[in-house]
Chains A and B, each alone.
Chain A
Amino acid sequence: MKILTTPRMERCIGCNSCSLACSRLVHKRLSWLAAGIRIMSTGGMSTGFEARACMACEPAPCAEACPTGAYSQRKGGGVIIKKNLCIRCGDCARACPVDAIYLDNTGQPYVCIHCGRCVPFCPHDCLEMTGVSKITSAEDSEAVMT
């Protein structure tokens, strides 16, 4: 089971192609927010960019916080979401320690499902689908162990 990682964000140019691809291909929306990955500057345009995306926690705090069973643990990290069970309470977003879940104006959550469809749209290879056992960087190791 692979997960989406963001190992080379220092290369990011802030084009939002990944967010737009996720929204377009996964959620069938035109948006740069309604996506499993969102790009922000790290404090103004002169500071580079960071990705807000699911760190594939196991156990996932968002799944534990979900009161209706809409969120369940995904094997290898992250969550599986059943939209029809979601009551849009927003507890998942509040439980996420890294602000990876976006709630739209109706309270519907958007979170990465680790499908990797955003990856080919990154022009600088910032993103990568990685097997959990192969993650070696300190940052991503921490993420998996959280």
Chain B
Amino acid sequence: MIRDHFRVLLVDLSVGKGKITTHPGRDKYIGGSGLAALLFQQYGHADRPWNDPDQPLIFAIGPLTGYFPLMSKTVCAFKSPYHDQYAESHAGGRSALSLRFANLDAIVITGRAAKPSCLAAGSHHLKVRDVHYLWGKSIKSTGKRLRHMFPGSGHRSILRIGPAGEIGSAMAGINVDTYRHFGRLGAGAVMGVKNLKGIVIEGDEMFDLPAGNAYQKVFEKIYNQLTTTGMMKKYHDLGTPVNLAVLNNLKALPCRNLQQTSDSQIGGISGETFAEKTLLRNQACSGCPIGCIHLGYVREKFHKDHRYYFFQVAYDYEPIFATGAMLSVTNASEVLGIIDKIEEMGLDVMSAGVALAWATEATEKGIISAKDTMESLKFGDAGAYKTAVGHLGHGANDFYRLLGMGTLKAAEHYGGSDYACVLGQEMAGYATGEVFYTAQALGFRHSHLDSGGYSYDQKHEEKDVQKAIDFLIADEQDRLLLTSMVSCLFAREVYSKAHLTECLNSVGYTGIAVNMESVKKQIQKERWQLRLATGFKPEKTAIPRRFAELTTWKGKTDVNYLNALIRAYAEKINGMG
């Protein structure tokens, strides 16, 4: 639906009702990240904590969602339990197209339901339904039941939380359609404090196409580039796990809680091994023909009389890095088993894996014991990690409840902050150098996707602070444009500014097309202003000592360069406030 405003469903869970609101500003805020910032400005409370019932949970799509391939992502925005500041997390699945065909640009959820509830919304219905009997249930179990309780099979998105979200863990994600996630920074806990176990969005509306044939022509051009040029091969062939071997060879793969940057056993969990030994099939987000979702399978014997069950687990580079390389688990099936447990709990896989890696080293160093971890944690012991994941997801004792609020929180209490692999949040899988450490530690989402710092490290030998920071700022702007449309960032090479302009013009968003350069800077600024207003102090950023001790293919970390980068980036960010 092409419109010069935003059509938003505002739901107040405390009364179980909602209303449609309209918001001007399409040309200024675009959608996605920009729209989420606009809505948080209007409905968020910078001065109140993340778990205040009035804080909004926002889901926003963009002007090109559904109109073009790979415009298939949704932006979730909230005040994060991880740092009590404004945050975003992104996911695909069917969520984006379901919102598009529910005729909504965004959903804003405020209030707290009296009982554990599920919100069901579509173009012609809205209901908040009591689902108290699902409280405590795993992601899988919840999904199976919600599937039968609400209409729209095949053309809806089912979002839900597991036990981790219910206990308010800052590592709790929101599961989207079984295999995708709003994973990081604790969006699941925001649903939990709202007593919101699930959200079912039905996409049951249709729209006329833009007049003329320009749209059809641009669509085919983009579609052909995505599907016939080989540009996307790396994503649908081995997928992102191809990075395991690449980064291992570069000595840039975080291993064994970052005590190493390579592992001689990494062949057991390489992208090639996963593909040859575990890959069952691929899956796609709706509206994306690439199919980058890789589903591995695990078959487990549960009875001596050859009785088996099997399960499917989505794998990618980051989950394998976090539960494989970081934990020294180098058997692909065992890695899938750990990821599966993390899925059941509704935890973020990167956060959980990196947190357990710290807990293992802390155990080795005698800072914590099996009394704290309830299980003897040893690098490589997949069985112990599966049990520990359950404890982390349920918040089984004081140690796990604190660990679930962030590895550094636990380290502040127990000690061991020098080797807590935290860059704003638990690190992503790139020990590539100073620019990446700076980019994640200070980046808006504390994500490797905020900007291409890991790529910059690999392409630049010189240590030019200004040049590196200029790159991070400019790259963030370009990515912000895509996350406002809302595109999958895997398509960033296809959706150049020229192509985005063609796409926008072909559907009638000429106002956005002509102003993209200034708008991306404005959105960047306003988003950082929200972050700063909610308490972010970039100048206080400290990088744990472990990162200073690293040696990669480029040699040992240059601490002076790293500190200069942090100072300069912090200054830039503060300058936007």
Interface digits, A13-52 against B, CB 8 Å rule (1 contact, 0 not)? 1111100100111001111111000111101111010000
Q: Within the assembled complex, what's the spacing in Å between the Cα atoms of A20 and B219?
A: 11
Nearest residue, chain B, Cβ from A46: B312
Which B residues, 289 to 331, have Cβ-Cβ distances below 8 Å to chain A? 289-291, 293, 295, 311-312
The answer, among B143, B206, B287, B295, for a CB contact under 8 Å with A34, is B206
Q: Within the assembled complex, what's the spacing in Å between the Cα atoms of A17 and B224?
A: 13
Distance (Å) between the CB of B527 and the closest chain A CB? 29
CB neighbours (8 Å) of A124 from chain B are: 291
The answer, among B216, B283, B290, B312, for a CB contact under 8 Å with A14, is B283
Asked if B67 is at the interface of the complex by the 8 Å CB criterion, the answer is: yes
- Inter-subunit contact B154/A44 (CB<8 Å): no
CB neighbours (8 Å) of A25 from chain B are: 216
- Inter-subunit contact A32/B177 (CB<8 Å): no
- Inter-subunit contact A16/B97 (CB<8 Å): yes
Distance (Å) between the CB of B576 and the closest chain A CB? 36
Known: A13-B284, A15-B288, A29-B208. A44 touches B97 (CB 8 A): no
- Inter-subunit contact B69/A17 (CB<8 Å): yes
Q: Within the assembled complex, what's the spacing in Å between the Cα atoms of A98 and B227?
A: 31
Nearest residue, chain A, Cβ from B179: A45
The answer, among A31, A45, A105, for a CB contact under 8 Å with B283, is A45
- Inter-subunit contact B101/A31 (CB<8 Å): yes
- Inter-subunit contact B287/A33 (CB<8 Å): no
- Inter-subunit contact B285/A15 (CB<8 Å): yes
Chain B contact surface mostly = loop
Asked if B66 is at the interface of the complex by the 8 Å CB criterion, the answer is: yes
- Inter-subunit contact A45/B282 (CB<8 Å): no
Q: Within the assembled complex, what's the spacing in Å between the Cα atoms of A48 and B154?
A: 11
Which B residues, 253 to 299, have Cβ-Cβ distances below 8 Å to chain A? 281-291, 293, 295
CB neighbours (8 Å) of A48 from chain B are: 281
Asked if A67 is at the interface of the complex by the 8 Å CB criterion, the answer is: no
CB neighbours (8 Å) of A43 from chain B are: 147
Asked if B45 is at the interface of the complex by the 8 Å CB criterion, the answer is: no
- Inter-subunit contact B291/A123 (CB<8 Å): yes
The answer, among B69, B144, B295, for a CB contact under 8 Å with A44, is B144
Nearest residue, chain A, Cβ from B153: A40
The answer, among A33, A38, A121, A123, for a CB contact under 8 Å with B101, is A33
Q: Within the assembled complex, what's the spacing in Å between the Cα atoms of A24 and B256?
A: 50
Asked if B456 is at the interface of the complex by the 8 Å CB criterion, the answer is: no
- Inter-subunit contact B209/A30 (CB<8 Å): yes
CB neighbours (8 Å) of B283 from chain A are: 13-14, 45
Q: Within the assembled complex, what's the spacing in Å between the Cα atoms of A104 and B155?
A: 14
CB neighbours (8 Å) of A20 from chain B are: 66, 287
Asked if B133 is at the interface of the complex by the 8 Å CB criterion, the answer is: no
- Inter-subunit contact B101/A44 (CB<8 Å): no
Q: Within the assembled complex, what's the spacing in Å between the Cα atoms of A64 and B312?
A: 44
- Inter-subunit contact B178/A45 (CB<8 Å): yes
Nearest residue, chain B, Cβ from A29: B206
Known: A14-B283, A44-B143. A29 touches B209 (CB 8 A): yes
CB neighbours (8 Å) of A121 from chain B are: 223, 289
- Inter-subunit contact B206/A104 (CB<8 Å): yes
Q: Within the assembled complex, what's the spacing in Å between the Cα atoms of A23 and B101?
A: 13
Asked if B124 is at the interface of the complex by the 8 Å CB criterion, the answer is: yes
Asked if B526 is at the interface of the complex by the 8 Å CB criterion, the answer is: no
Nearest residue, chain A, Cβ from B69: A17
- Inter-subunit contact A32/B101 (CB<8 Å): yes
Asked if B353 is at the interface of the complex by the 8 Å CB criterion, the answer is: no
CB neighbours (8 Å) of B143 from chain A are: 44
Asked if B4 is at the interface of the complex by the 8 Å CB criterion, the answer is: no
Nearest residue, chain B, Cβ from A39: B154
Distance (Å) between the CB of A126 and the closest chain B CB? 12
Which A residues, 83 to 109, have Cβ-Cβ distances below 8 Å to chain B? 104-105
Which B residues, 115 to 144, have Cβ-Cβ distances below 8 Å to chain A? 124, 143-144
Nearest residue, chain A, Cβ from B297: A46
- Inter-subunit contact A14/B286 (CB<8 Å): yes
The answer, among B101, B144, B284, for a CB contact under 8 Å with A15, is B284
Known: A13-B283, A24-B216, A105-B124. A123 touches B290 (CB 8 A): yes
A residues with CB within 8 A of B:
13-17, 20, 23-25, 28-34, 38-41, 43-46, 48, 104-105, 121, 123-124
23 A–B pairs (Cβ distance < 8 Å), ordered by A: A13-B291, A15-B286, A15-B290, A16-B97, A17-B69, A24-B209, A30-B206, A30-B207, A30-B208, A30-B209, A32-B155, A33-B206, A34-B206, A40-B154, A41-B153, A43-B147, A44-B143, A44-B147, A44-B178, A45-B178, A45-B179, A46-B312, A48-B281
B residues with CB within 8 A of A:
66-67, 69, 97, 100-101, 124, 143-144, 147, 153-155, 177-179, 203-209, 216, 219, 223, 227, 281-291, 293, 295, 311-312
- 6 tightest A-B CB contacts, nearest first: A40-B154, A31-B206, A15-B284, A13-B291, A45-B178, A123-B289
Additional pairs, 10, CB under 8 Å, beyond known A30-B206, A46-B178: A13-B284, A14-B283, A16-B287, A17-B287, A30-B66, A31-B207, A32-B155, A44-B147, A45-B283, A104-B206
